[in-house]
Amino acid sequence: MSAIELSASVDVDRPVDDVWRVVADYSRDPDWRAGVVTMAPSTLGRVRPGTTTAEQLRTAGSTWRNTGVVTEVEPGRRFSWRTTSGVPASGSRAVTPRPGGGSRVELRLSVTPTGARRLLRPLLAGMLRRGLAADAVRLRQLVERVPATG
């Protein structure tokens, strides 16, 4: 079965550096990603290639434990990741400057349902789409509250 491909973007009224500081720090994920109970990155601060993660996610009445690895980083701009155990998934986070100021964040997610979850693919796709969009809004709210760097 093919993967469910999703993306969500949000404009943030803050410079790219301020947004990147939150987006690229996995330890901040519980602050803006619904259902993330714990996120334990192997490195402190901003991600770098090879950073691993241990995530505990509570959603739809179930608890999921996923491990992952950061596969590619364009510092200050974009990084990609994939799971190494748990739910088969991959994705990226990107931050770009907007003309006139501020930033745009794009979150991409690809999830491949397995087992009985394949039968729930349409329901799962809708739930993931709504969740990713809501996460993007929470991210904007968080970043716009965080004191500016400088």
Q: Decide: 86 and 95 in contact? Cβ < 8 Å.
A: no
Give the global pTM: 0.90
Query: Tens of pLDDT along the chain (150 residues)?
Result: 589 999 999 999 999 999 999 999 999 999 999 999 999 999 999 999 999 999 999 987 888 899 999 999 999 999 999 999 998 999 999 999 999 999 999 999 999 887 766 666 677 788 889 999 999 999 999 999 976 655
User: What's residue 119's pLDDT?
Assistant: 65
Q: Going from the N-terminus, what domains does the chain have, and what CATH number goes with each? A: 4-145 (3.30.530.20)
Question: Which of 24, 30, 13 is CA-nearest to residue 135?
Answer: 30
Q: Decide: 9 and 132 in contact? Cβ < 8 Å.
A: no
